[in-house]
Structure 1
């Protein structure tokens, strides 16, 4: 591009106040655009204690409490970006102002795909190959929907150096709500009283936090503190999630060679690959067996750790982030905004 693009994103929340996989994925993607020389800002839709416009990782962040006019900024944008609950309202502005719209999709739920099919989407970004395939099936069965002009798969970017540390001794669950496995963590801690567990509070959902002597509860942790606060103390990461479209924390843990024991969701099977140790979330006995084998057999642990590091290296995000930046630039170039 001959001059920097003005890229405006509309989302409900951002780190460091809200630390979930979708938000950290989007931040990494927007950071790549900043590093490419573009002007990027994020406007928040939900109310929070933050009221001042500020910068986060090179991105200008405008809180809802700042009471500035998002629609006027959307009119001046070269590209609009959104995800999750903010897609419908952002898409309406994109249609009204004739702006190219980029939608980042973090799940294959029907409302998500219907939002993509609204007719405003110039570029749909899926966080996994399996989700891209599900979207193709959706559009084949939904003839009244408007397919995006183009699509791209960007797996949630994890820069391994930011998360690498020496593993600790605990079995860790990050986000202890029911769907992520909070109840199973409590059962495992009861069954394995000599083993230390970390229960890390998540960004959403009612947290199940066991009051047990071998469970330490860790408060909500910003992304840049995860290595020092969580992974440095983790021997094995547990991911007994009912649903994961990808599973970013598993990839973060593998950067340190931390084995991941997970429920075989389609996303986790894709993200963890051959490094994953898969156990059904409803089989507590099998979870106890898998964890004890890793924790008591040094050879088994070394092998699992080696596979985790290898998978982490395979998921280096550089190529996909470059493709992402190029796609945004091409979308803007195809439909330039008037300044």
Structure 2
């Protein structure tokens, strides 16, 4: 979402709020990044900003600093937890950006339920942008799960691998959550893959993507897979149902028999091709150009 702001000529800097490996400031896609370990003074730097954007647990502190300097504050919401909306209500947001229509509707319901909360001055929906050229590849032969923690459906994944010993599975370690690592000969486990290498190391090896997630406010991995025409089998959370629409195949996460039957159906080349075609069509429908133009226009209006 920040890349098109750079293209428009704006100076964009991201200040990290958690410790990582980096200590010195660096640049990616024209965006300056300041690690927490650099010990640079965010409070002093923010006074020179024209707009402050933040999300998650950083909203209260960032919004307070922005408010103190009279700078417009923008909150980004991509999580349905009530605390997200409560923090945004207290932040005096000039703009809130939701990652889906269903999350915007959930926010409306939360604000209606808590009339003491201050509604944001304005809001827009910007679906997590996936540029087809960054992810499109020739699908492989694996049945893949990205992030093997319980909330992402790891137990469903391992049960399917056990039931389908003749199929090749790929388990991609996630960046967060307890990872469930089994020991089956038809499952290959790989370490966490940076976003810039997902196309070549994950999607180029994937024939079917599994998303038995308990909660997804959108489902970016699913949309990335669509770019290559990879059929996605998903639990119909509000986010995944909105993101995939007719381009996905839906099974309740609790119904492992349905997941197994669907995978066996996709073993038929004609069925796989039909599902792949629907995935590609949905990928085209999710072109981020209009969303990002609306986002840039909203930021520049502040």
Alignment TM-score, normalising by the size of structure 1: 0.88
Could you tell me whether the CA contact under 8 Å between 2:95 and 2:121 is conserved in 1?
yes
Moved runs in structure 1, 4+ residues, more than 4 A?
none
Partner of 2:195: 223
State whether structure 2 residue 2 is matched by structure 1 residue 30: yes
Could you tell me whether the CA contact under 8 Å between 1:119 and 1:147 is conserved in 2?
no
Could you tell me whether the CA contact under 8 Å between 2:148 and 2:179 is conserved in 1?
yes
Partner of 1:48: 20
Partner of 2:285: 314
Deviation at 1:120, TM superposition (A): 2.2
Partner of 1:161: 133
Could you tell me whether the CA contact under 8 Å between 2:100 and 2:239 is conserved in 1?
yes
Partner of 2:269: 298
> Residue 60 of structure 1: SS of its match in structure 2?
strand
Deviation at 1:119, TM superposition (A): 3.9
Q: Residue deviations 1:22-71, cap 9 Å, x none?
A: xxxxxxx0111111110000001111121010001111000001000000
Q: Distance in 1 between matches of 2:41 and 2:132?
A: 38
Deviation at 1:76, TM superposition (A): 1.1
- Count of aligned pairs between the two proteins: 302
Q: Residue deviations 1:253-293, cap 9 Å, x none?
A: 00000000000000000000011100011111111101111
Q: Residue deviations 1:92-123, cap 9 Å, x none?
A: 11221111111110112100000110142111
State whether structure 2 residue 300 is matched by structure 1 residue 329: yes
Which structure 2 residue ranges, 5 or more long, are not aligned?
none
> Residue 152 of structure 2: SS of its match in structure 1?
coil
State whether structure 2 residue 45 is matched by structure 1 residue 80: no
**In structure 2, which of residues 229, 235, 248 is the aligned counterpart of residue 276 of structure 1?**
248
Q: Distance in 1 between matches of 2:69 and 2:197?
A: 40
Partner of 1:127: 99
Which structure 1 residue ranges, 5 or more long, are not aligned?
1-28, 332-339
Q: Distance in 2 between matches of 1:57 and 1:213?
A: 40
Alignment TM-score, normalising by the size of structure 2: 0.99
Could you tell me whether the CA contact under 8 Å between 1:263 and 1:281 is conserved in 2?
yes
Q: 62-71 or 80-89: which moved more?
A: 80-89
